[in-house]
Amino acid sequence: MIGSGWASWAIGAVLLVVLAKVASIIMDKMKLSRLIRNVANYKAPINCFLSGKRVLVLVNPYGGDGGAMNICRSTVLPMLTKCWVTYDLVETKSAQHPKQIALETDLTAYAGIIVVSGDGMLHEIVNGLAQRFTHEGQTDIQSLAQFYSKIAIGLIPAGSSNGVATTLGRFSTLQQPVRDPFLGMRVILEGTPKPYDLMSVRRMTEDKGLQQDNPIFDCMMASTCVVSDVDKLAEQDLRFLNKGFRKFAVPIYTILRKRRYPQEVSILPVPAQEIDVKSQRESNYRDTTRLPDCPGRPGWKQIKDVLLMVTAMKACDGADDLFTAPGARLTDGCMDLMLLRENCSRLDLILHFLTMSDGSHVRRKTMEMYKIKEMIMIPDAKKKSKLDISGSLYEFTPVHVVVHSGVARFLY
């Protein structure tokens, strides 16, 4: 009887996965039909910045559920043609290929790079461009900014998480979060090159000095604890599962585990009087004067505790369905830090994830939000998570995170 009971559960689980896959295929077909209809009715803007120029289109065929090339053919290329934009199309072959292209390709003929993928591929491209101006662990930020003044990045949401593309829509002429490729192309074609801050993550030595290895650059987030646990499961261990199923099952499993990480976080906070009223209202920042001072670092504060979440956001959105940092701004030279301590219960953790869809999690009692300029994260030697930078996972050693204001340029 017990054996037959387990067999019934197993059959039910398999049927659930199959049904989820079938439903996903049907939804994808419906989305594609809607995209084709929208593209057919689209009229080129009168003053399109890219008209008469050439762009490099990079497509990740493995991103998300593997539909990026279909999105490119049905939406991206026809809309570029409608706006008299010429292009070269490159399909990436591996996870490191975008970084290699950004580092080694002669980009002087291009006015922009159109990325048809998610935040992970964008992360590789941003680092490839930065590596052009990095020597012996030091990046010439001024030269990098000059390079970006001649080429801008456009982003089409076609990956597992599309946080940056979603955020760009909020600050574009559309003034709404972008979650589909058609709107992503509208943001690019109806926008102009505008500044965007970059974050750099530098590893530290045991005496808290900076190592001489290359910094890691990014434009969305740097995170540890529960977020890196979720991304490790969703993007590595369980990537073979349907995207929609992963988004539902992985956070629940991670919350039930509720892994705790002793960690030391030192921050350079933005003074309260320098935070604009709208950002303060949207993100409900805590008063940093109540935090302990950081020894040896004037103006810094220190958080030394057992933590469930440590996430520094540059973008507003951690994914297309996670309005993670409502008060974040693209060019304010700051990051929004989200922090949860071990006193957050499993139920509260579930409610945090559920309310992130509309940004109301910032009002919850256990969520601590801080507007900061710099951050140092030091893991416990015995128990540490991965370091998660826009879904790319690294070994978590002590790191120093800094914002470089307005270095990059994006089309929005």
Q: Who has greater pLDDT, 353 or 24?
A: 353
Nearest residue to 402 (alpha-carbon basis) of 147, 146, 191, 139: 139
Helix H segments across 258-339?
277-283
Q: Does residue 6 sit within a domain? A: no
Assess whether 189 and 268 both reside in one domain: no
What's the whole-number mean pLDDT along residues 194-198?
98
Q: Does residue 12 sit within a domain? A: no
Assess whether 235 and 292 both reside in one domain: yes
Assess whether 190 and 73 both reside in one domain: yes
Q: Does residue 358 sit within a domain? A: yes
Assess whether 192 and 205 both reside in one domain: no
Q: Does residue 361 sit within a domain? A: yes
Q: Does residue 11 sit within a domain? A: no
User: Does residue 247 register a pLDDT over 80?
Assistant: no
Q: Count of domains in the chain?
A: 2
Handedness of CA 116, 121, 122, 128 (dihedral sign): negative
Assess whether 359 and 289 both reside in one domain: yes
CATH number, residue 305: 2.60.200.40
Assess whether 150 and 224 both reside in one domain: no
What's the whole-number mean pLDDT along residues 224-242?
76
Assess whether 247 and 325 both reside in one domain: yes
Percentage, residues of the chain above pLDDT 90: 76
Q: 108-153, pLDDT tens digit by residue? A: 999 999 999 999 999 999 999 999 999 988 999 999 999 999 999 9
Q: Does residue 9 sit within a domain? A: no
Nearest residue to 332 (alpha-carbon basis) of 264, 378, 283: 283
Residue span of the structural domain in which 178 resides? 22-198
Q: 207-230, pLDDT tens digit by residue? A: 777 776 899 999 999 999 988 888
Q: Does residue 211 sit within a domain? A: yes
Using DSSP's 3-state secondary structure scheme, residue 153 falls into strand
- Tell me if 137 sits within 8 A of 215, measured CB to CB: yes
Last residue of a domain, one of 198, 227, 261: 198
Assess whether 193 and 224 both reside in one domain: no
